[in-house]
Structure formats: C-alpha cells, structure tokens
Amino acid sequence: MLFVAKRSSRDAAKGTRSQLFDLKMRRARHFYCHLLRGPPVSSHRTKTMSHLNYETRLPLGQATIDHFMGLPAHPSKCQATYVWIDGTGEQLRAKTRTFDVKPKYVSEYPVWNYDGSSTGQAEGDNSDRYLRPVAVFPDPFSGGHNVLVMCDTLDNEMKPTVTNHRQACAAIMKQVADQHPWFGMEQEYLIVDRDEHPLGWPKHGYPAPQGKYYCGVGADRAFGREVVETHYRACLHAGINIFGANAEVTPGQWEYQIGTCEGIDMGDQLWISRYILHRVAEMFGVCISLDPKPKVTMGDWNGAGCHTNFSTSEMRKPNGLTAIFEAMKGLEKTHLEAMKVYDPNGGQDNLRRLTGRHETSQADKFSWGVANRACSIRIPRQVADEAKVRIPRRPSSIIQLRSLPRDSNDCKKCAPRLNIYNYSTTQIIHVHLISPI
C-alpha cells in the first residue's frame, strides 16, 4: 500500500503540473487573441464604440471573389463603368451599365443620369444630374469587352457642374493645339488603413526617421508594394501611359508617373489612373490618401505632391530655354492666383505642405532654379545643359486641373501655367523643367 500511495502522489503532482501548464497556455492564447481582435464588446460599450473598431476584415471573401472574377468575360456584352468626380472635387464615383454590343466610339456611349443630391452636386428637390462620356479605357478589373468611361458632370440645364472644370480646360487645349502642349504628372499618395493611419506605421508611435524609405527595398521600409505593382499592371492594361513608379520619402508613401500626354488627354488619364488606384486599394482592404499633408505626417515627414512636367513645341526646340525663361515671367505674375487652384479648397490644403521645408518652396513666394528641389519650378540640370526643356511645376497631390488662362493668347504668352490643365489633379504641383521624353 505504501508503494501505491507514493506512486499516486507522484501522479497527482504530475497532474497538477499539467493543469498549471494548460492554464498558462489558455491564458497565453487569450492574451494573444485579445491583442489581435481586441477585447469583447459589451452591449453597453457598443453605444460609444468608435466606428474604427471593425468586426469584419477586408477584403471580403477573397476566394469567392476570385472564383467569380475568374469566370470568362461575356463573349459579346459590354459592362461600361461610368466614372465621375463628385462634389468634393477630389473623390470619384462610379456605376455600371450593360450594353448588348460594345460601342465603337466614345460618342456612341449615351448620356446617363445620377442622383446629384447624394454626391454633393444637387439639392434633393432637383437632384438629377447627367454623365456625359468623354474618354473610354479598357477595364482591367473585368476584362473582355468591358470598359471604364470617364465622364463630364452636367446639371439639369446640361451645363457643367461646379466641380466640372474639364469642359473649359478642353476648350483652351483646343485653342492652343498648335502649341502641342505636353504634360507628365507625378502622382504621390499615401497608403492608409481604414482608420487613416499610414500603412506600416506603428499604431502608437512613429516609424524610424526618413532616409531609408525613398526607393527602398525590404519589409522594414517598403509598405504596400502589392498595391503599387497591381496598380501598375492594371494601368498598362487600361491603356494608361504610366511611365514608372517608386517608393517615396515618407514610409507608406508612393508615386507613379503618367505621361507624356498631349492636351486634355492628360487629365482623363490621371483621373482614371486614380480610379484604378482606389479600386486596387479597395481589393487589398486599404485606402489611398491624396491629402497633401495628413495630420499624422505634420511632423518631420514629407507631404504629397503631384509634380507636373510641361512643355510646348517651342520649348522643345534647340535653345528652348529662351521660351522657358519667358514663361517664368508669366508664372511669377500669376503665382498667387495659381496657388488657389492647386487643391479643391482654394489652396488651403496645400498651405499645410508648402512650408519651405521637406523639399518644398514657400507658398507666398515664386521661385525657380536649376536642380533646386526647394523652389516653385525646377529645371533639371540635364535640361539646362541640353538647353531645351519641359517645365515641371510642383503642386499638391490633390491638384485640381482646371483652366486658369483667360484665353488662348494668354496661354501662348505664358505657356507653362500648369494649372491650365488642373482639371485632373488633386495635390500640389511642382513645376520641373525637364527634357522631352
């Protein structure tokens, strides 16, 4: 009996140790689940719970989406997604319709209506607004005969809505067509979570200082490359003249370049490339910020711009610097006027970015120089050496492309007023003088 009793004691000790181990493991699992999912939400906390505490992970049912999106496109029908700029002047809206046969020309796509009271473009008692197709691109998301249709927005009298600057811009581009205005735009943006916190940033603190992120490679410095590469391929499929892409100075910030484009085509391509970017980000469960300087980056972090490169046929000729220098005089005269159209809020958004620091010029002073990234207009050294240029201006990432010159003669005298074409952007533009591509 004594031998059995001792054995039972040892077994009991083992059982106790096993129970303690199991208890510790359960506590550890609970702790990590708490970190990953957050604490349970009681009914009483539900009333005050922030809308940022999401229960559903995005994207939804990726395997299901892949299954149906992987189905062959319809052999004859066309899904046309109409895309337009809403009342904010910077956000995009879209809706889709089906055609039995794909139209051959943009003029064959019919005008369509929408509820302007839900997009900030009309009152509820007179809400119908109209979409007029102006440019068509292959749809990289659904393939087949399907297309993306960039649209003008018109009011109930078929006149441009307040945020429709394209019509006036297109008219000026037509007037100066003999100047063959070329544009190339460098769209910077920040990838953020749905709580507007930059992707890759710690939720309670800041990442390592700037320096290693620009064109960086590695998991500790490049955040969101999947979005960038997918967007690049999608733009190529859509026929967008995407020139390149790279990681930018602030962690989570990227840039892609569109161009060279001539005339109004620049605005259409930039807006559709933005639509594609938002759609791609949506598929990854993240968001895109075109804010020139989000609150979280108000410290020692670079803001976002939409540097614009511009030239006319005269500037691209041998000794084209003479035409550029003349353009500088015109840009200087209209500097303050131009600053007001570089974002949808009268230039106020851009003021948060143009501080004279972080590779920006001062908002109230016009400046230009060779290889100077802290001025309003930068002439790349190679351009100065070759004596022929494209002018790059440095507006915000949320630049508004609209027509600033009052007429075509004004435009010819001062060809590089980059806000001529501001109908398509929404961030601050930097003008850089660069050689033709």
Residue of 183, 260, 168, 258 whose CA lies nearest to 415: 183
Place of tokens 């691109």: 137
Q: What's residue 130's pLDDT?
A: 98
Q: Are residues 90 and 148 in the same domain?
A: yes
Q: What is the CATH number of the domain that holds 219?
A: 3.30.590.10
Q: Are residues 121 and 239 in the same domain?
A: no
Place of tokens 């063959």: 180
Q: 24 in helix, strand or coil?
A: helix
Least confident of 48-62, 353-367, 376-390, 398-412: 398-412
Can you tell me the distance from the alpha carbon of 183 to that of 3, in angstroms, rounded to the nearest whole number?
94
**pTM of this structure:** 0.78
Q: How many domains does the chain have?
A: 2
State mean pLDDT over 37-53: 43
Q: How confident is the model at residue 385 (pLDDT cuts 50, 70, 90)?
A: confident
Q: Are residues 205 and 144 in the same domain?
A: no
Please report whether residue 168 resides in a domain: no
Q: What's residue 295's pLDDT?
A: 84
Residue type, 412: K
Residue type, 123: E
Residue of 84, 99, 169 whose CA lies nearest to 129: 84
Which run of H or of E encompasses 10?
A: helix 2-37
Q: Are residues 241 and 367 in the same domain?
A: yes
Contact criterion met (CB below 8 Å) for 109 and 149: yes
Q: Are residues 193 and 89 in the same domain?
A: no
Residue type, 407: D
Can you tell me the distance from the alpha carbon of 68 to that of 47, in angstroms, rounded to the nearest whole number?
37
- Per the prediction, the chain carries an average pLDDT of 79
Please report whether residue 67 resides in a domain: no
State mean pLDDT over 284-308: 87
- Decide if pLDDT at 412 tops 80: no
Q: What's residue 237's pLDDT?
A: 97
State mean pLDDT over 213-229: 96
Task: Tell me the pLDDT tens digit for each residue of 143-189.
Answer: 999 999 999 999 999 999 999 999 999 999 999 999 999 999 999 99
Q: Are residues 130 and 265 in the same domain?
A: no
| Domain end residue (candidates: 163, 190, 211) | 163
Q: What's residue 35's pLDDT?
A: 40
Please report whether residue 38 resides in a domain: no
Angle, helices 225-237/265-283, rounded to nearest 10 degrees: 130
Please report whether residue 40 resides in a domain: no
Q: How confident is the model at residue 24 (pLDDT cuts 50, 70, 90)?
A: low
Residue of 411, 147, 418 whose CA lies nearest to 309: 418
Q: Which residue has the higher pLDDT, 412 or 394?
A: 394
Can you tell me the distance from the alpha carbon of 291 to that of 120, in angstroms, rounded to the nearest whole number?
19
Q: How confident is the model at residue 434 (pLDDT cuts 50, 70, 90)?
A: very low
Q: Are residues 127 and 196 in the same domain?
A: no
Please report whether residue 17 resides in a domain: no
Which run of H or of E encompasses 307?
A: strand 306-311
Q: What's residue 168's pLDDT?
A: 93
Q: How confident is the model at residue 395 (pLDDT cuts 50, 70, 90)?
A: low
Q: Which residue has the higher pLDDT, 418 or 320?
A: 320
Q: What's residue 135's pLDDT?
A: 98
Q: 145 in helix, strand or coil?
A: coil
Q: 386 in helix, strand or coil?
A: helix
Q: Which residue has the higher pLDDT, 420 or 74?
A: 74
Least confident of 74-83, 130-139, 372-381: 372-381
Angle (CA) 262-268-274 rounded to 5° is 125
Q: What's residue 404's pLDDT?
A: 38
Q: Which tokens is 414 given?
A: 């001062």
Q: Are residues 121 and 88 in the same domain?
A: yes
Q: Are residues 151 and 186 in the same domain?
A: no
State mean pLDDT over 318-338: 85
Q: Which residues contact 419 (CB under 8 A, 6 or more apart)?
A: 338, 341, 342, 395, 399, 400, 401, 402, 403, 404, 429
Percent of the chain topping pLDDT 90: 49
State mean pLDDT over 394-409: 47
Q: Are residues 129 and 215 in the same domain?
A: no
Can you tell me the distance from the alpha carbon of 225 to that of 321, in angstroms, rounded to the nearest whole number?
38
Please report whether residue 31 resides in a domain: no
Q: What's residue 430's pLDDT?
A: 32
**Cβ atoms < 10 Å from Cβ of 381:** 12
Can you tell me the distance from the alpha carbon of 277 to that of 258, in angstroms, rounded to the nearest whole number?
13
Residue of 164, 426, 180 whose CA lies nearest to 320: 180
Domain residues for the domain of 182 are: 174-405+417-430
Percent of the chain topping pLDDT 70: 71
| Domain end residue (candidates: 163, 190, 221) | 163
Which run of H or of E encompasses 214?
A: none
Q: What's residue 48's pLDDT?
A: 40
Q: What's residue 345's pLDDT?
A: 72
Q: What's residue 353's pLDDT?
A: 65
Q: Which residues contact 81 (CB under 8 A, 6 or more apart)?
A: 94, 95, 96, 139, 146, 147, 148, 149
| Domain end residue (candidates: 101, 136, 163) | 163
Q: How confident is the model at residue 408 (pLDDT cuts 50, 70, 90)?
A: very low
Task: Tell me the pLDDT tens digit for each residue of 111-143.
Answer: 999 999 999 999 999 999 999 999 999 999 999
Q: What's residue 360's pLDDT?
A: 63
Please report whether residue 60 resides in a domain: no
- Decide if pLDDT at 321 tops 70: yes
Please report whether residue 211 resides in a domain: yes
Q: Are residues 141 and 232 in the same domain?
A: no
Q: Are residues 77 and 178 in the same domain?
A: no
Which run of H or of E encompasses 50?
A: none
Q: How confident is the model at residue 362 (pLDDT cuts 50, 70, 90)?
A: low
State mean pLDDT over 89-100: 96
Cis check for the bond before 56: say yes or no (omega within 30 of 0): no
- Decide if pLDDT at 427 tops 70: no
Q: Give the sign of the dihedral formed by CA 185, CA 191, CA 197, CA 199.
A: negative
Can you tell me the distance from the alpha carbon of 225 to that of 213, in angstroms, rounded to the nearest whole number?
12
> DSSP per residue over 101-140, as a string?
S--SSGGGSPPEEEEGGGTTSS-GGG-EEEEEEEEEEE-T
Q: What's residue 303's pLDDT?
A: 84
